[in-house]
């Protein structure tokens, strides 16, 4: 089992009564609750509150073992994984290596832009945003100060929308109190979206609500804005427009883990590997691929790279492994879409869940409840809840530390 | 005002009604509660819980300003500081740059040993300890595995004693549950002390109690053990003894900030600058030095490099600055020793406070209460308290993440 994300973890847990020895491999020792990563990036939560060590999560499970290694190559013929700690053989393999930030070959963005896929990414954004304010306070030149205080988020999907909303609230509700000499008119937050839609998965009414809410929070939402280059000082759009900005957060895409490229199988879009309806690799019934790394179409569209797909695939694979061992026929995977949720700040969210279309305060409450329920570990739930309450009532963000490297 | 530690922060706050403009400089944007740093290093607390942004602490103070800069040199003649953001002039200067780990010129230890003075230090220790267990699980060679699981703490002062106790509990109460295949007999924790005393500031009965408690927690306490060399693989003692150990935590000494060396004043022991009884620099009545960076003797002994000295010096300097401005004579500084406290793990501490000598559970409760009171910010108090309760009742340490660099 490769990867302790939503898919790998769910599969490992669902196999607890199956007569197999589960060995979970991950380069990190923890499972990360990625949907709240943007809150770490905006100083609302501490990294330890949205992550939990894999060993601690699956501690009671008798047939479970964990190894902190990086898997570098998969050899289907030899049934062997090459890892940072030497080769590991397998009988059955579940690949759930997840995804990474997709810069679409934009090298300058890869160098100067900030992705948001892991804890170090989130800490880097937090450090950059807070440091920009400290530097702006020291900057006598007005143009340079404005560039320091211009924050660009690229990508109008859930990550970009949530990031832009949280960033605006961090600055306009919290940091203004820390920087009484700051001229808030020097601050700009832009959300650049290449198409003419935010949150494309949502129905139009909710998309419109999301855009309006962001605008009311002083986020300049730009549609049809494609990035052509970024040199760390100014971002250049395909239209020819140039915006000086010291901070660009890239939330415009994900692609499958680079491990996929070692499999020797032609990849589909975003580096994802096409799998059978049973999530097996064609020609290798002992290998399953799930989550962001797998490519499946359903109802004519590819399944999205989101946590619910990975979780359901993990459950499906665990069931199919049990069937495989008892000689039964495998069942095809069928994704049940439970909907989409995105929050845009305090009291504001959009939700399209089980056919229910909500926006504003009711959607926000639903977002809170669902995320608290899904967080792993009672302690994490409690701490996140206290932090949110604190933020809500006192307009404070606790984790405003700049941690030097 | 240079340095947002205990001394600088207290002085800045105490100057709130004095007709001066206070500009606080620090290379970090936060004040760190150093006495609990060892708990971050042993995964008991999160860094955000023992640190608070300086701007947030002094937010309401009208005559306060903060700048995140590193001060590289002080020019007394020009009344100017050289900083990472250019020169800054001053009328009155309070230097409170604090201390750093003192490796006593032991270069090999500086390279391979782990200090404990700042948040990155603490995270580095946490990462190293947890990674050692992960690597030990992958290590087939028994000797190498034992070296991975040998943890050496050098220095029997409060930091070393608290570190060794907390490390032992992390391993024996928490990590054993995460690593069911671990042979606990492979784990060694050694505390090396060059003299024949732990916690030299305490009376003998309490010193004995501390040593016994550590021993009961399976910490091998070695007296008369001086380190001569460490190559990252094995530590060599002056006695000729060689101990293979992958992790050495250096808690054997502190010295004043390197900023002291730029002052052009001959330093006393540990690089500290001798100051007048009023804490002024001889010949420069407009410059005060406080905290770890200052050298003062009282009752025939140098004042220790601890938080209470810095705090009281900060208060004294603030009063003296007010007197200086109103043309009154300055008052000499007089340290009131409130005692010493050190904890050695659950239910165990030693305390010598206001003449009261306690050990065991009562001392531990006193330690808890005093530290919670002194932590800055209600939220930090609350979170630390919840974490401690969690640890106490469930034998858990929440922050067991290995964060990649």
Residue-wise DSSP of B254-292: EEE-GGGGGS-S---GGGPEE--TTSEETTEEEEEE-GG
The residue-averaged pLDDT of A257-262 equals 96
The pair of three-digit structure tokens given for residue A324, joined into one six-digit string: 């495989």
Cβ distance of B401 and A47 shorter than 8 Å: yes
Q: Where does residue B332 rank: exposed (0-12), middle (13-18), buried (19+ CB within 10 A)?
A: exposed
User: Predicted ipTM?
Assistant: 0.88
What 8-state DSSP symbol labels residue A2? B
Q: Which residue of B has its CA nearest to A181?
A: B65
CA distance A90 to chain B (A): 16
Q: How many helices (H) and strands (E) does chain A have?
A: 12, 26
CA distance A48 to chain B (A): 6
Q: What is the pLDDT of residue A390?
A: 84
**Contacts across the A-B interface (CB distance below 8 Å):** 109
CA distance A271 to chain B (A): 25
Cβ distance of A120 and B56 shorter than 8 Å: no
CA distance A295 to chain B (A): 29
pLDDT averaged over consecutive 10-residue blocks of chain B (405 residues)?
Answer: 96 96 96 95 92 92 95 96 96 97 95 96 96 95 97 96 96 93 95 95 91 95 96 96 97 95 95 97 97 96 95 97 96 92 89 88 90 87 87 81 76
Q: What is the pLDDT of residue A151?
A: 98
Q: Which residue of A has its CA nearest to B122?
A: A403
Cβ distance of B400 and A56 shorter than 8 Å: yes
Cβ distance of B399 and A138 shorter than 8 Å: no
Among all chains, which residue has been given the structure tokens 């007296």? B223
Cβ distance of A48 and B399 shorter than 8 Å: yes
Q: Spell A284-296 as b/e; 16+ CB within 10 A means b.
A: beebbbbbbbbbb
Residues B48, B100, B107, B162: which is the catalytic one? B162
Higher pLDDT, A21 or B353: A21
Q: What is the pLDDT of residue A339?
A: 86
Q: What is the pLDDT of residue A22?
A: 97
Contacts of B401 in chain A (CB under 8 A): 28-30, 47-48, 51, 53, 119
CA distance A168 to chain B (A): 19
What percent of the residues of chain B are helix, what percent strand, and what percent coil, each to the nearest 5? Answer: 40, 25, 35
The number of beta carbons lying within 10 Å of the beta carbon of residue A217 is 21
CA distance B68 to chain A (A): 6
Angle, helix B158-169 to helix B204-216, in steps of 10 degrees: 30
Cβ distance of A28 and B59 shorter than 8 Å: no
Among all chains, which residue has been given the structure tokens 């010295």? B255
Structure confidence by residue, pLDDT tens digits, A89-140: 999 999 999 999 999 999 999 999 999 999 999 999 999 999 999 999 999 9
Stretch (H or E) spanning A82: strand A80-83
Structure confidence by residue, pLDDT tens digits, A40-96: 999 999 999 999 999 999 988 999 999 999 999 999 999 999 999 999 999 999 999
Give me the residue from B46, B120, B135 closest to A46, CB to CB: B46
Cβ distance of A401 and B29 shorter than 8 Å: yes
Query: What phi, psi does A182 have (nearest 5°)?
Result: -70, 135
Contacts of B383 in chain A (CB under 8 A): 383, 386
Closest listed residue to residue B46, CA positions, set A372, A49, A119: A49
Give me the residue from A28, A181, A398 closest to B402, CB to CB: A28
Is residue B111 less than 8 Å (CB to CB) from chain A?
no
Give me the residue from A46, A119, A386 closest to B48, CB to CB: A46
Q: What is the pLDDT of residue B230?
A: 97
Contacts of A30 in chain B (CB under 8 A): 400-402
Give me the residue from A53, A177, A402 closest to B401, CB to CB: A53
- Pairing mode of beta strands B64-68, B22-26: parallel
Per-residue pLDDT at A405 exceeds 70: no
The residue-averaged pLDDT of A169-193 equals 94
Residues A49, A107, A139, A162: which is the catalytic one? A162
The pair of three-digit structure tokens given for residue A127, joined into one six-digit string: 């450090």
Is residue A70 less than 8 Å (CB to CB) from chain B?
no
The pair of three-digit structure tokens given for residue A254, joined into one six-digit string: 């994900």
Give first-to-last CA distance, chain A, whole Å.
Answer: 32
pTM for the full predicted model: 0.92
- The answer to whether B103 and B113 have CB atoms below 8 angstroms apart is yes
Suggest the residue from B119, B145, B398, B402 to mutate for an interface test with chain A (most A CBs closer than 10 A): B398
Cβ distance of A55 and B178 shorter than 8 Å: yes
Contacts of A404 in chain B (CB under 8 A): 27-28, 120
As a whole number of angstroms, the distance between CA B319 and CA B329 comes to 11
Contacts of B28 in chain A (CB under 8 A): 401-402, 404
Q: What is the pLDDT of residue A261?
A: 96
Contacts of B27 in chain A (CB under 8 A): 404
The pair of three-digit structure tokens given for residue A182, joined into one six-digit string: 């700051």
Contacts of A47 in chain B (CB under 8 A): 46, 401, 403
Sign, CA torsion A210/A211/A212/A213: positive
Distance of CA B232 to the CA centre of its chain: 23
The pair of three-digit structure tokens given for residue A234, joined into one six-digit string: 């100014």
Q: What is the pLDDT of residue A404?
A: 67
Q: Which residue of B has its CA nearest to A62?
A: B180
- The answer to whether A313 and A290 have CB atoms below 8 angstroms apart is yes
Among all chains, which residue has been given the structure tokens 């559970």? B361
Contacts of B69 in chain A (CB under 8 A): 138
- Note if A134 is an active site residue: no
- Pairing mode of beta strands B297-298, A356-359: unpaired
Q: What is the pLDDT of residue A121?
A: 96
Cβ distance of A69 and B396 shorter than 8 Å: no
Q: Which residue of B has its CA nearest to A137?
A: B67
What percent of the residues of chain A are helix, what percent strand, and what percent coil, each to the nearest 5? Answer: 40, 25, 35
Contacts of A56 in chain B (CB under 8 A): 178, 396, 400
Among all chains, which residue has been given the structure tokens 């946590």? A307
Q: What is the pLDDT of residue B404?
A: 67
How many residues does this entry show for chain A? 405
Angle, helix A361-374 to helix A378-394, in steps of 10 degrees: 150
- The answer to whether A363 and A326 have CB atoms below 8 angstroms apart is no
Q: What is the pLDDT of residue B376?
A: 84
């Amino acid at each position: 089992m490769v990867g302790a994300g939503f898919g790998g973890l769910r599969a490992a847990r669902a196999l607890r009564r199956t007569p197999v020895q589960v060995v979970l491999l991950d380069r990190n020792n923890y499972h990360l609750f990625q949907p709240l990563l943007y809150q770490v990036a905006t100083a609302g939560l501490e990294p330890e509150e949205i992550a939990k060590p894999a060993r601690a999560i699956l501690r009671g499970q008798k047939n479970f073992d964990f190894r902190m290694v990086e898997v570098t190559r998969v050899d289907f013929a030899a049934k062997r994984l090459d890892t940072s700690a030497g080769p590991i053989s397998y009988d059955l393999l579940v690949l759930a290596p997840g995804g990474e930030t997709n810069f679409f070959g934009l090298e300058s963005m890869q160098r100067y832009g900030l992705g948001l896929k892991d804890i170090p990414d989130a800490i880097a954004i937090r450090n950059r945003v807070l440091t920009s304010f400290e530097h702006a306070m020291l900057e006598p030149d007005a143009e340079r100060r404005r560039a320091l205080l211009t924050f660009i988020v690229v990508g109008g999907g859930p990550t970009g929308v949530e990031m832009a909303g949280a960033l605006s609230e961090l600055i306009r509700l919290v940091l203004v109190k820390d920087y009484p000499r700051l001229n808030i008119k020097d601050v700009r937050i832009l959300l650049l979206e290449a198409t003419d839609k935010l949150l494309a998965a949502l129905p139009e009414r909710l998309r419109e609500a999301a855009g309006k809410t962001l605008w009311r929070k002083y986020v300049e939402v730009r549609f049809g804005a494609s990035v052509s280059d970024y040199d760390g000082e100014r971002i250049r759009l395909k239209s020819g427009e140039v915006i000086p900005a010291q901070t660009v957060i890239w939330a415009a895409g994900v692609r499958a883990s680079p491990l996929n490229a070692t499999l020797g199988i032609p990849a589909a879009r975003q580096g994802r590997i096409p799998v059978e309806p049973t999530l097996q690799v064609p020609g290798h019934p002992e290998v399953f691929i799930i989550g962001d790394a797998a490519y499946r179409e359903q109802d004519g569209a590819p399944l999205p790279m989101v946590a619910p797909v990975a979780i359901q695939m993990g459950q499906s694979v665990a069931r199919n492994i049990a069937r495989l061992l008892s000689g039964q026929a495998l069942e095809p995977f069928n994704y049940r879409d439970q909907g989409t949720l995105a929050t845009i700040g305090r009291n504001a969210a959009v939700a399209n869940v089980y056919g229910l279309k909500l926006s504003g305060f009711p959607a926000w409450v639903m977002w809170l409840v669902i995320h608290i329920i899904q967080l792993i570990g009672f302690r994490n739930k409690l701490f996140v809840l206290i932090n949110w309450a604190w933020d809500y009532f006192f307009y404070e963000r606790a984790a405003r530390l700049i941690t030097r490297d």
